[in-house]
Structure 1
Amino acid sequence: MENETACLRAAKRLSHMYFSPIRQVGERASALAGEGHPVIFFSTGEPDFNTPSAIKNAAIQAIQDNQTHYASNRGALSLRKAVSEQLARTIQLDYDPATEILITAGGAEAIQNAFLATLDPGDEVIVFTPAFMNYENLISMCGGVLVNIPLRKENNFQIDPDELSWHITGKTRMIVINNPCNPTGVVYQEAVLAKVAELAVRHDLLVFSDEIYNQVVYDAVMCRSIASFPGMRERTIVMNGFSKVYAMTGWRLGTLAADARMIPHLLKVHQYTTTCQPTFIQEGVAKAMNLPETLADMSQMVAAFDRRRKLLMEGLDRIGNLEYTTPLGAFYIFIDVSKTGMDGDSFASRLLEEQYVACVPGSKLGTHCGNFVRFSYATSDENIREGLTRIDAFLNHK
């Protein structure tokens, strides 16, 4: 019997990979909702807004104009030009749309392309945790070695450049930066990034900079791209996309910007992964992404996230025994639940099963994060108020 089913075994490269805990929580929460329970989703990093109308209308028009054939593997040139314009506006760097920008199937493919194109088995990749679990799993898929540098609550989850320096070896190939950070909501200080950049240049390291949330920032904070520091543009792969600030999670559109010498390596992986993204989506987004009305819609979304952030923090403070670092970017808050007498896994599981509030345990986001949970406030004010009421009942009125 064993020989008959041997053909069904998984590839060895999957042996150290695991299913996304965010998706697992989401599946259980959706199952409960399907049973009729009133689930509050604090687990999903998905804006509850609709895609800006200008983008939707432009994509519909592109279909009517029969823009439904293959686009360039690099992405439609019109979209690459629009992305170049956006990058100049947001991170003050110029990228040649003809040779330095690649359009991908969302951020997930962008990460995969960057890692598969640059990592060999045995290469060490430094990741600051807690972190998005795609990094760890895709490093494993490439045969790379994850070098975990834990970020600490007592340091407001900022990078310690000295600790980074200690972890750099002759095998180090890449440093991964996620700024603003999922799940902590931290925006890295400019002085800290400057020291990280100095180390990358000194040791000739590649940097992968996930900047998917860089337009979702609060309190007039500055989110500077590490690619903008001296010597960094040529050694940084900048990832961004449309899912978060444009509320386009289902459109699956991401971007990579890098030195022209790097793009052919990324393109080689991309060609055999997705070929190209739907042409009508690319042309529609190119036409509308930088329009004043689209930018106004984005600003309104960020303002709403800011209001919800404050609402959530005020509620958590009233409940008590829940500690967090104030998020200055993205739409997550990373909460230490240890004073409740529960670890993050127990807290998240019980909160979902007893009060129908879904959140993500921190244990899979960092080996030192077992006492944490991640809440997303990319949901309505009403859901946040109701969720806080249920959390209060869960902790204080049993």
Structure 2
Amino acid sequence: MYSRKESNNGKLVKDSSVIGFLMTLLSFQEAKEVQNMEKEWFLKGANRLEQVYFSPIRQVGEKANALAKEGHPVIKFSIGEPDFNTPEPIKAATIQAIKENKTHYASNRGLLELRQCIAQKLKENNGLEYDPETEILVTSGGAEVINDAFLAVLNPGDEVIVFTPAFMNYENLIHLCGAKMVGIPLKEENGFQIDPAAVKAKITDRTRMIVLNNPSNPLGIVFKEEVLAEIAKIAVQYNLLVFTDEMYNEILYDGVVCRSIASFPDMKIRTITMNGFSKTYAMTGWRVGYVAADSRVISNILKVHQYATTCSPTFIQYGLAAAMNLPETISEVKKMVQVFDHRRKLVMAGLDKIGKLTYIVPEGAFYIFVNVSQTGMDGDEFAAKLLNEFYVATVPGTKLGDWCKDYIRISYATSDQNLEEGLNRMDRFVNHK
């Protein structure tokens, strides 16, 4: 093709040697780019991050914040954060601890006085006795519990059963451990309750752990006692560990009881119980959580915790120890739950009025998982248009479970005024008013 040709003035038009030189130059440039990429390998990140993704809930929040900065009247039904202030006794006790210079290192396990208060609460709520010396560990928020516990017990190749939709931290931290998440969809027709037969069908010789979130984020449901009893039997039969996230176990409605799976026969030794102060005490920014488990399991979790955070802020621990179980604090918590119950009913009434939107009545937490399929849109389209056109932020179901394309999550942890205005906008959106 590139034969030697000359024009009328005798100059070269195409020459294979010139093309060859250009090809060599191109190869050199490509090689240089590859070399530069190898020099900057650190920009790629570790291989363990390949299946780890940024929080989709935070991404929705960032989009909502960007619209708000542009001057749009954004209402956030997306974030799971109580709009209440931390109870006054806890704030006052923490301020006093700072004034008394209680600002130095605490034990890696956490302040003993606080662990004793946590043990008291666990006995009241779960009916179980944990030794505050060896079976309770204070962490920097619930997220740290998930991180530390998973890293402490999971090996690469292990399989972990997670009921979906689910809080995305479980999946990402399972991947960070090199383990595999085995998702089991919870079905609306079953009231989003667990099907024990579906659990047995997913167990293999690599299954090591079952993750529970009770009450559930994003579903707002509480798992029935008879269902938990079956899961406990399965855990014992197949020698499995259970990680139970009970962050919302004091935010309950209609007299519903949330029983901890650790309280079933032979389950305390094979259960890691996670809880914290963010939701129940409106302390999301304080970052204090805790984990309770057999002392040998806690010892392994402690190894991770020591190198992750050393200890949670000491003055906060003193403040909590002094005030978390005071009658005044408990009274403020109960009032907050009563307000959440009122808002829950307000949201359900609003959704019923709108029509075309179905849901299972939430029994705990402050979320409602809404099926939008009757609108002719899936959850992704519904949430995107609702935010971009009507400035109401919700979380698409697909961000919480691959099969949840027909759903959105609404958080009612916001004011009555915001709820009413947001529901009115949803009504106009759905019914084209």
* TM category, shorter: over 0.9
User: Paired residue for 1:155, among 174, 190, 194?
Assistant: 190
**In the alignment, is residue 55 of structure 1 matched against residue 90 of structure 2?**
yes
What is residue 374 of structure 1 aligned with on the other side?
Answer: 409
**In the alignment, is residue 389 of structure 1 matched against residue 424 of structure 2?**
yes
Give the Cα separation in 2 of the matches to 1:56 and 1:37: 34
**In the alignment, is residue 91 of structure 1 matched against residue 126 of structure 2?**
yes
What is residue 156 of structure 2 aligned with on the other side?
Answer: 121
What is residue 206 of structure 1 aligned with on the other side?
Answer: 241
Give the Cα separation in 1 of the matches to 2:327 and 2:136: 23
Residue 152 of structure 2 aligns to a residue whose secondary structure is helix
Instruction: Give 1:20 deviation, angstroms.
Output: 0.7
Give the Cα separation in 2 of the matches to 1:396 and 1:314: 16
Instruction: Give 1:7 deviation, angstroms.
Output: 2.8
User: Paired residue for 2:57, among 5, 18, 22?
Assistant: 22
Instruction: Give 1:6 deviation, angstroms.
Output: 2.4
| C-alpha RMSD over aligned residues | 0.7
What is residue 113 of structure 2 aligned with on the other side?
Answer: 78
**In the alignment, is residue 136 of structure 1 matched against residue 174 of structure 2?**
no
What is residue 212 of structure 2 aligned with on the other side?
Answer: 177
Instruction: Give 1:51 deviation, angstroms.
Output: 0.1
Which letter does structure 1 place at the counterpart of 2:345? K
Which letter does structure 1 place at the counterpart of 2:156? P
Instruction: Give 1:129 deviation, angstroms.
Output: 0.3
Taking the TM superposition and a 5 Å limit, the aligned residue runs for 1:173-322 are 173-322=208-357
- Bigger Cα Rg: 2
Instruction: Give 1:260 deviation, angstroms.
Output: 1.1
Give the Cα separation in 2 of the matches to 1:245 and 1:354: 33
Give the Cα separation in 1 of the matches to 2:426 and 2:397: 17
Q: Structure 2 unaligned segments of length 5 or more: list them.
A: 1-35
Instruction: Give 1:5 deviation, angstroms.
Output: 2.6
Instruction: Give 1:91 deviation, angstroms.
Output: 1.1
Instruction: Give 1:4 deviation, angstroms.
Output: 3.8
TM-score of the superposed pair, with normalisation by structure 2: 0.91
Give the Cα separation in 2 of the matches to 1:93 and 1:145: 31
Give the Cα separation in 2 of the matches to 1:118 and 1:262: 8
Give the Cα separation in 1 of the matches to 2:322 and 2:240: 36
Residue 250 of structure 1 aligns to a residue whose secondary structure is coil
Instruction: Give 1:35 deviation, angstroms.
Output: 1.5
Higher RCO, 1 vs 2 (CA within 8 Å, ≥6 residues apart): 1
Instruction: Give 1:341 deviation, angstroms.
Output: 0.8
Identical aligned pairs, as a percentage?
Answer: 64
User: Paired residue for 2:143, among 108, 111, 120?
Assistant: 108
Instruction: Give 1:357 deviation, angstroms.
Output: 0.3
Give the Cα separation in 2 of the matches to 1:148 and 1:395: 31
Deviation per CA, 1:161-209: give whole Å up to 9, x if none. Answer: 1111111111110000000000000100000000000000111100000
Give the Cα separation in 1 of the matches to 2:343 and 2:160: 35
Residue 57 of structure 1 aligns to a residue whose secondary structure is helix
Which letter does structure 2 place at the counterpart of 1:58? A
Question: After TM superposition, what 4+ stretches of structure 1 lie above 4 angstroms from structure 2?
Answer: none
TM-score of the superposed pair, with normalisation by structure 1: 0.99
Residue 303 of structure 1 aligns to a residue whose secondary structure is helix
What is residue 397 of structure 2 aligned with on the other side?
Answer: 362
Deviation per CA, 1:302-356: give whole Å up to 9, x if none. Answer: 0000000000000000000001111000000000111111111111111011111
Give the Cα separation in 1 of the matches to 2:308 and 2:105: 15
Which letter does structure 1 place at the counterpart of 2:132? P
Deviation per CA, 1:125-178: give whole Å up to 9, x if none. Answer: 000000000000000000001111111011110000111111111111000000
